[in-house]
Amino acid sequence: MKTLGFLVDEMLFQDFEKLHDFSKIFGLQPKDVKVFSFMEVKKKLPTLQQNQINNKDFNWKGEIQNQNAKEFLERDFDVLVGLYDGKHRFLDLLVSESKAKFKVGFKDADPRLYDLLIAVSTNDLPTFTAELKKYITLLNKV
């Protein structure tokens, strides 16, 4: 594995620095770990965060109107992790559009979208990290 991407629901998880720590765990360069987040409603305050999408960035046909999101989805990640609970119409669409080689989700995610579902809660990042490392090693992705 040389590149790792995360699609994150900001309602669930905001500490993106913990996700960048995955670079140390998997022996990657920090620049090779990318995080893209979804927020249901755009904040009124200006933000410098460019790797973010919200429900207004989708048209009525479900097409993505956010250039940064399109670029993220075009990246050929070795592993993409969907960090959100259950089925989520916007994040599920992003996962389905991703060019990632291997997609990993959490227990209640749509199994048609992922190559691997790990049966832990999204709140339990340490257990998820250990399980991900175990399966990525077993599947010869590292």
Residue 116 has pLDDT above 90, yes or no: yes
pLDDT for the residue numbered 43 = 60
Residue 124's domain comprises 4-138
The tally of domains found in the chain comes to 1
pLDDT for the residue numbered 141 = 62
pLDDT digits (tens, 9 = 90+) for 82-114: 999 889 999 999 999 999 999 999 988 999 999
* Other beta carbons within 10 Å of 47: 9
Q: How far apart (Å, rounded) are the C-alpha atoms in residues 104 and 27? A: 18
Q: At what angle do helices 67-74 and 89-97 cross, to 10 degrees?
A: 50
Q: Determine the Cα angle at 117 with ends 41 and 130, to 5°.
A: 95
Q: What is the largest CA-CA distance in the chain?
A: 45
pTM flag (> 0.85): yes
pLDDT digits (tens, 9 = 90+) for 22-61: 888 889 998 999 999 998 876 655 555 678 999 899 999 9
Q: What's the CATH number where 48 sits?
A: 3.40.50
